[in-house]
């Protein structure tokens, strides 16, 4: 029987080939070429739940993690966007776990379920989709909180979500049905908060 790490299938959608295999330098170099960002790794208290959220709301798919130490002992989960880039979810482990949980709670206390802007929201990965409307529609239908959409000055709609137990992520599109939820602007948001530069 072929192992998970060798199993390969190809899906063609929007002229993008999606390979349902584990990450490897060979795959990443063939797909993206050298010197391109192929993945990010983020900390999450519950990797499986974070991944399930992104599969449901953000068009992710799960990628099999071939290392039993990471997968079974640590609890790591891998995911991939339709474009091929990956996000790996790792639970906090090693020195400082209690501190991480304390900081995660402090972040949540400030962002109020990702409905308020905070300095921590500035740090996030982002990707684009053809239309932001289906994602907003699903989030609203399930009562899931998010920040935005924000209509940027170049007519890009930006949505910020906080993945459960995890970090913030941004989804952008030039297309959005404003009847779902009226967009705000960065000028309006800047007026809500103290944007005065810190003293030198």
Residue 33 pLDDT level (bands cut at 50, 70, 90): low
Query: How many other CB atoms are found less than 10 A from the CB of residue 73?
Result: 10
Helix (H) or strand (E) holding 138, with range, is: helix 133-141
pLDDT surpassing 50 at residue 7: no
- Listed range (4-8, 133-137, 166-170) with the worst mean pLDDT: 4-8
Inter-residue contact 22 to 4 (CB < 8 Å): yes
Q: Which residues of 48-69 are buried (b: 16+ CB within 10 A; e: fewer)?
A: eebbbbbeebbebeebebbeee
Question: What pLDDT, in 10s, does the model give residues 94-127?
Answer: 899 999 899 888 988 898 888 899 888 888 888 8
The predicted model gives 52-59 an average pLDDT of 92
What local confidence, expressed as pLDDT, does residue 54 receive?
A: 92
Whole-angstrom distance, CA of residue 157 vs CA of residue 180: 13
Whole-angstrom distance, CA of residue 125 vs CA of residue 127: 7
Greater pLDDT, 92 or 32: 92
Helix (H, G, I), strand (E, B) or coil at 25: helix
Whole-angstrom distance, CA of residue 157 vs CA of residue 66: 37
pTM beyond 0.85: no
Cβ neighbours of residue 8 closer than 8 Å, sequence gap 6 or more: 19, 20, 21
pLDDT surpassing 70 at residue 24: no
Question: What pLDDT, in 10s, does the model give residues 170-200?
Answer: 999 999 999 999 999 999 998 888 766 667 7
Inter-residue contact 158 to 174 (CB < 8 Å): no
What local confidence, expressed as pLDDT, does residue 10 receive?
A: 32
What local confidence, expressed as pLDDT, does residue 17 receive?
A: 32
Query: How many other CB atoms are found less than 10 A from the CB of residue 199?
Result: 4
């Amino acid at each position: 029987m072929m192992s998970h790490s060798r199993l390969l299938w190809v899906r063609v959608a929007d002229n993008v080939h999606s390979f349902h295999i584990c990450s490897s330098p060979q795959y990443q170099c063939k797909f993206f070429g050298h010197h391109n960002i192929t993945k990010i790794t983020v900390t999450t208290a519950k990797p499986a739940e974070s991944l399930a959220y992104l599969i449901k709301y953000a068009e992710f798919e799960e990628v099999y993690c071939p290392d039993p130490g990471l997968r079974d002992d640590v609890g790591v989960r891998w995911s991939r966007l339709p474009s091929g880039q990956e996000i790996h979810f790792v639970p906090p482990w090693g020195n400082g776990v209690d501190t991480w949980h304390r900081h995660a709670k402090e972040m949540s206390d400030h962002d109020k379920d990702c409905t308020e802007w905070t300095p921590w929201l500035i740090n996030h990965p982002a990707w684009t989709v053809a239309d932001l409307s289906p994602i907003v529609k699903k989030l609203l239908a399930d009562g899931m909180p998010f920040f935005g959409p924000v209509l940027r000055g170049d007519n890009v709609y930006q949505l910020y979500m906080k993945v459960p137990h995890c970090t913030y992520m941004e989804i952008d599109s030039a297309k959005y049905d404003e009847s779902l939820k009226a967009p705000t602007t960065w000028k309006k948001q800047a007026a809500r908060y103290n944007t005065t530069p810190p003293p030198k």
